[in-house]
Structure 1
Amino acid sequence: LKDKQLYSLDMGSLVAGSRYRGDFEERMKKILKEINTRGDIILFIDEIHTLVGAGAAEGAIDAASILKPMLARGELQTIGATTLDEYRKHLEKDAGVGRRFQRVIVDEPSVAHTIEILKGLRDRYESHHTVTITDAALVGAATMADRYINDRYLPDKAIDLIDEAGARLRIRRMTAPPDLREFDDRIATVRREKESAIDAQDFEKAARLRDDEKNLMVEKAEREKEWKAGDLDVVAEVDEELIAEVLATATGIPVFKLTEEESQRLLRMETELHKRVIGQEQAIHALSQAIRRTRAGLKDPKRPGGSFIFAGPSGVGKTELSKTLAEFLFGDEDALISLDMSEYSEKHTVSRLFGSPPGYVGYEEGGQLTEKVRRKPFSVVLFDEVEKAHPDIFNSLLQILEDGRLTDAQGRVVDFKNTVIIMTTNLGTRDIAKGLNLGFSNADDTKTSYERMKAKVNDELKNHFRPEFLNRIDDIIVFHQLSKTEIIEIVDLMLARLDERLRDKDMGIELTQPAKELLAERGYDPVLGARPLRRTIQRDIEDQLSEKILFGDLKPGQIVVVGVEGEGAEAKFTFAGEDKAEIADVPPIVAEG
């Protein structure tokens, strides 16, 4: 390499404008003659796969064929760069070109090497953006890019983070303060008044306004000078927090340091989840413990954030807890990717999850699971009624649960390390529904009876799933049936949502205790759980309420008090509208369990 110079060959400029046969070849010959004459040139060709076929018209030869003789004689020293896919697609087909080059695989640098690369580039970005980049920002950019951006490679993705953070800080400094922007409004107002005075031929007023305009311009210039001088004195520093902010904006991933506020929120996770999920203390506690373990950084970094089987009868809160967890962890209920596994009960439906193999219909579309996780890498993935899925699906789930990744049909690796995997099942619930046969009361499960029920469900799971699948699950959480007290709490929760909708009409709703108990009694089903309760509220409360509002019996500014008239099967709900001022002492319904 001593006394050698590196020149880059721009294939696009070389081909551009070559209209007639021989134009391109003539240009190539001139370049090769110059290289041969000089003898100290090493040619660098980026995207070297473009050589194959470049400039080739009918009857003409391409750039690769022109270079082959010189490469064979050793007269041309060349470095080419391309991706493995492009190399395989273009260069391997032309064995003559591939044979004349020595292939060197350049792997992705480690995080430590990336930090060293960023330190070398720091001066360039600091001078370009007129900012200071701290060492912590460089380390943060490398580690966070490696951790959170999975579809690109180091150091490229880390460099982009540094560049964008510097640009963001520079834009913030360039934004004028509000008082400086006010000068523009005031000057524009004075100019309009001056024009009006000239039109009205009030030249004395116009002259006064002209002086006001000049004074404002001088004041603005002084203030602008102060702002720029003061801004130059303040050192603009790109730190780790700004890198995290840029990453969160670009990817939608909630990147944050484990602050004291976040720690407190995780410690009271049970309380937050109980605001939407009634009962199920054991299930919520087990789930919260696992999530705290993950957020504290104690989990295996190669595995998903958590993997759980939710077992229990229908309508006890399994799906609702999954939605609540998605909202708690990622701030959005839409972060839940829900898949009904009864749709994947046939062998051929497995390809719908992970993508069709080459040559089959839908190959380009990707899989329903893999595409959703690629778009939302931070999410809760819910496999609903997982026992109904075809056994072949569990083979792929093994890789997700153990390695936190999955390769789709197109060969792309989809990262599941930032997801929480939840599988719901009804296995063993026949015995839960007949709880008395197991020696416990449905209304008030004791700890001992709950453990016996859990053991029964675990036996059913072992009979249905293979041991290697169950061993990869973090925890199997068994939900118990809801008691009457919990059903009444769910009534409060559902009516709080109805109360929120009525607030748009300047109305509210209150239920007496007998009315709540009657709703709970009619909506409670030991087999179906709390799901019939929503239909009961629609039928007995919302339908009658809507009719009374349309007839004008209930008006805005009133609170609807729902009571009960009659007893037993003859009992029915009554609706009375009272002004809000008259019942100020009635406690409001709150959306907390």
Structure 2
Amino acid sequence: PGHIRQLAFQDFLKRHLVDEKNRQKVIEWFQIYYQNSQRKPWWSKEQLMNQPPLGRGLTAGFTNTLDRFSTELTLQQPHHKHLIGRKTEIETIQRILSKSSQANVLLNGEVGVGKQAIIEALAKSIYEGSCPDQLAYKRMLAVDMEAILALESDFVKRQDILSNLFREAENAGNIILVIYNFDKYIASGEDHVDLTQVFERYALSESLHLMATTTPYMYQKYVFPNTKVSELFDKVDIPEMGKDSVLRILLDIAPDFEKRYQLFILYDALEETIRVADRYLTHLPFPEKAIELLDEACVYVKSQKEHGAVDGHVIHTVLQQKTHAPIELTDSLKTKLLTLEDRLHKRVLFQDHALQMLSAALRKSFIDLGNRKKPLASFLFLGPTGVGKTETAKAVTEAFFDREEKMIRFDMSNYQSQADIPTLIGSSTTHEPGQLTEAIRNEQYGTLLLDELEKAHHDLINIFLTVLDEGYFTDGFGKWVDCTNLIIIATSNAGADFIYSSVQQGVSVDTLQKTLIDHLISTGKFAPEFLNRFDGVVVYSPLYKEAIIQIALKVVREIIESTQQKYGMTVQVSDTFLHRIVDQGYDPRFGARDLRRLIQESIEDIISKEVLAGTAKGKTLSF
């Protein structure tokens, strides 16, 4: 046996150790792995001798409805062989279920924290006889509520099915009923099964135990207000796991992944999985996000070649494809940063100083990419209307996240009062999620554009102060909203008159940068501690008539090229026509804001009529 163990040890090191600094950790991993591999299976003679009597499966009376709409968990192998890091929760649940009356448990935790794994581990302990004596003969049955919903749409008939199911379970005398996503079935309405009456009737029975799962948000919205139901349960909160426990889980399941995919998983990959999952998959909890990322990395390696190894680089590659976030300073990202001015200049004209400053600040922000617990980058764009602030935000989004649609945009002038704040961050009173919080959670990686920030209520300004400093804020339900994977850009017209008059007086851009900030602080528009939180404050100069002509020419050229490619129609625009449009729309205080509207009215409307009439192809339009 010692020789066999030594051979196994050498093979294990060869497959999992790439960095000598992790040798001791890999040795500890081998000890866990070898101990688990030598365990006797649960069906061994010694184990069966310790089993409760085989009569556990015998129940009193007929259980036709119960058998039809439930699955026995105590007869199934759990998804994970070992439950790690949940000893306290399991002991609490076992203690509640062992009570003589009202022995009902509600597991309350975010999706992905492992509620189902805890339930399966409890079922396994009952099957193996390693549970308290009071639970030794129990059967755990998961009710298939969706099957009941699909079978019968009539509310009364649904109630009849549920009543029969609960009555059979009560008569059996040894049943623990499990209902996943419990909150879905206590909200009245034609598309719901309302379990309230059924629970009131059976939940106090000494012959029936109930286990259910929910999430903190759904608990607050549906379960807690329904006192008839919530008082029937002992709530057990299931928090997110710590990184040490997650590492132990990955060490436990990695050999199974290796066997399934016929590859090797390096120890470094396990540590990197946890690190980057914690940094970039903030919308998901541990351990689910780490397990899924490692699983996807195995699939990726298997799809690339028949045999291979999962290392830290593979983890980065998979996460990059999954999120489109800049995970590491790859050659591609380095090229984007080094050529950023050129890319921005293609879309934003006559703001050279602003774009140079922005590009330099972005390069600096991305150097410490993996270490900062702040947004990817943050900027305040100051300048008059129509000078290219929003266009720059779109260009930055396209440069780093490949498409403009990754930009979340909010007009902060709509949130000027205290009453507007819950609309953005949610409210536990109304149970409604916030527009801002939901947008960020749905678009984890991109640009957050806050237009006219100076008009927002000062309490909102304080919230964004936390975001710029810590990379998160707390929503109306007390939950963290992570912003560390966002580029945050705020725009403001504050000081536009000051900018315009300074430029008129010939003040240089560098001098204007400093004097404008001093002006905004002295007039109370922004507090100095708020301005200092940004990676950069970028000042945009007013656009004069010569610049507007060049911008108009750029827009017209884009229309000419697009019309020719899409519809085969030639568009010709004379200098006289172009200057007339500029004369009509130019105002130094509003920049190019009205230019697009005038061009649309003068050129695009006529083109669209020709296209709709079917006469566009081969035709020439002259303006």
After superposition, the C-alpha distances for 1:48-86 in whole angstroms (9 at most, x for unaligned) are 999xxx999799764784699xxxxxxxxxx99998889
**1:118 matched to which residue of 2?**
250
* Conservation of the 8 A alpha-carbon contact between 2:568 and 2:616: no
Q: Secondary structure at the match of 1:489?
A: helix
Give the superposition deviation at 1:501. 2.4
1:538-584 superposed Cα distances (whole Å, 9 cap, x missing partner): 455556777899999997276x6xxxxxxxxxxxxx75xxxxxxxxx
CA distance in 1: counterparts of 2:463 and 2:166, whole angstroms: 55
The residue that corresponds to 1:500 in the other structure is 561
**Pairing 1:134–2:266 present:** yes
Question: How many Å separate the matches in 1 of 2:421 and 2:164?
Answer: 52
Q: CA–CA distance in 1 between the matches of 2:512 and 2:611? A: 50
1:19-40 Cα offsets, whole Å, 9 max, x none, are 59985456446x9xxxxxxxxx
Q: Cα 1:84–1:508, aligned 2, differ >3 Å: closer, same or farther? A: closer
User: Structure 1 residue 381 and structure 2 residue 448: aligned?
Assistant: yes
Partner of 2:527 in structure 1? 466
Per the TM alignment, residue 382 of structure 1 is displaced from its structure 2 partner at its CA by 1.5
Q: After the TM superposition, which of the residue ranges 113-122 and 421-430 deviates more from structure 2? A: 113-122
**8 Å CA contact 2:549, 2:578 repeated in 1:** yes
What's 1:280 paired with? Answer: 351
Who is 1:189 aligned against?
none
Give the corresponding residue for 1:411. Answer: 478
User: What's the Cα RMSD here?
Assistant: 4.8
Following superposition, the deviation at residue 494 of structure 1 comes to 0.5
**In the alignment, what sits opposite 2:462?**
395
Q: Which residue in 1 is equivalent to 2:511?
A: 451
Please show how residues 99-498 of structure 1 align to structure 2 within 5 Å: 108-111=240-243, 113-167=245-299, 170=302, 172=303, 234-240=306-312, 242-244=314-316, 246-248=318-320, 250=322, 252-254=323-325, 256-297=327-368, 301-359=372-430, 363-364=431-432, 366-435=433-502, 439-440=505-506, 446-447=508-509, 451-452=511-512, 454-456=514-516, 458-462=518-522, 463-498=524-559
1:12 is matched by which residue type in structure 2?
Answer: A
Structure 1 SS opposite 2:142: helix
- Any idea what the Cα deviations from partners look like across 1:485-505, whole Å, max 9, x if unmatched? 432331232023202322132
Shift of the alpha carbon at 1:4? 7.5
Q: Which residue of 2 aligns with 1:5?
A: 130
Q: CA deviation at 1:470?
A: 2.7
Corresponding residue SS for 1:10: strand
Partner of 1:214: none
**Change in CA separation of 1:9 and 1:284 when aligned onto 2, cut-off 3 Å:** farther
Contact map agreement 2:336 2:400 (CA 8 A) in 1: no
Partner Cα distance (1:288, 1:371) in 2: 30
Contact kept in structure 1, 2:166 and 2:202, CA below 8 Å: no
How big is the shift at 1:273? 0.8
Which structure's relative contact order is higher, taking Cα pairs within 8 Å and 6+ residues apart? 2
SS in 2 for 1:337: strand
| Aligned partners of 1:21 and 1:60 also within 8 Å | no
Secondary structure, counterpart of 1:12 in structure 2? strand
Structure 1 residue runs without a partner (length 5+): 32-42, 69-78, 174-230, 561-573, 576-593
Please give the TM-score of this superposition, normalised by the length of structure 2.
0.62
How far apart are residue 128 of structure 1 and its match? 2.1
Deviations 1:360-390 (A, max 9, x none): xxx33x1111111110011211121122222
Cα 1:331–1:96 change in 2 (3 A) is closer
Determine if contact 2:369/2:376 at 8 Å carries over to the other structure: no
Tell me which moved more, 513-522 or 387-396: 513-522
Task: Measure the CA separation in 1 of the matches of 2:283 and 2:576.
Answer: 58
- Code of the residue aligned with 1:379 in structure 2: it is G
Residue by residue over 1:106-125, the C-alpha shift from the partner in whole angstroms, topping out at 9 and shown as x without a partner, is 75444455334312211111
For 2:587 and 2:232, how far apart are their aligned partners in 1? 76
Q: Is the contact between residue 356 and residue 409 of structure 1 (CA under 8 Å) also seen in structure 2?
A: yes
Structure 2 CA distance for partners of 1:396 and 1:537, relative to 1, 3 Å: same
Partners of 1:307 and 1:405 in 2: CA distance: 13
Q: Structure 1 pair 546/420, CA: closer, same or farther in 2 (3 Å)?
A: closer
Aligned to 2:154: none
Say whether the 8 Å CA contact 2:408–2:439 is kept in structure 1.
Answer: yes
For residue 355 of structure 1, report the CA deviation from its aligned partner.
1.7
Structure 1 residues 166 and 545, CA, compared in 2 at 3 Å: closer, same or farther? Answer: closer
- Percent of aligned positions that are identical: 31
Q: Distance in 1 between matches of 2:240 and 2:613?
A: 71
* Distance in 2, Cα, partners of 1:55 & 1:436: 70
Partner of 1:556: 618
Between 1:377-386 and 1:520-529, the stretch displaced more is: 520-529
Query: In structure 1, what is the Cα distance between the partners aligned to 2:602 and 2:338?
Result: 40
Return closer, same or farther for 1:62/1:295 CA change in 2, 3 Å cut-off. Answer: same
* Cα displacement string for residues 130-173 of structure 1 (whole angstroms, at most 9, x for unaligned residues): 33333344333222221222232222211122223434555x48
CA distance in 2, matches of 1:97, 1:527: 64
Deviation at 1:275, TM superposition (A): 0.7
The residue identity in structure 2 corresponding to 1:533 is L
